Amino acid sequence: MTRDEWIAAFAQELGVQPPTPEEAEQLLALAGTAAHSSERPAAPLACWVAGRAGASIEAFLAAAERVNAG
Question: 7 lies in a domain?
Answer: no
Question: 40 lies in a domain?
Answer: yes
Question: 34 lies in a domain?
Answer: yes
| CA–CA distance, 46 with 5 (Å, rounded to integer) | 22
Q: What is the pTM of this model?
A: 0.82
41: amino acid identity, one letter: P
Question: 36 lies in a domain?
Answer: yes
Question: 4 lies in a domain?
Answer: no
Question: 59 lies in a domain?
Answer: yes
pLDDT at res. 29: 93
Per-residue pLDDT 10s for the chain (70 aa) are: 999 999 999 999 999 999 999 999 999 999 999 999 999 999 999 999 998 998 998 999 999 999 999 8
First to last CA, the chain: 39
pLDDT at res. 70: 85
Which residue range forms the structural domain that includes residue 46? 19-69
Question: 3 lies in a domain?
Answer: no
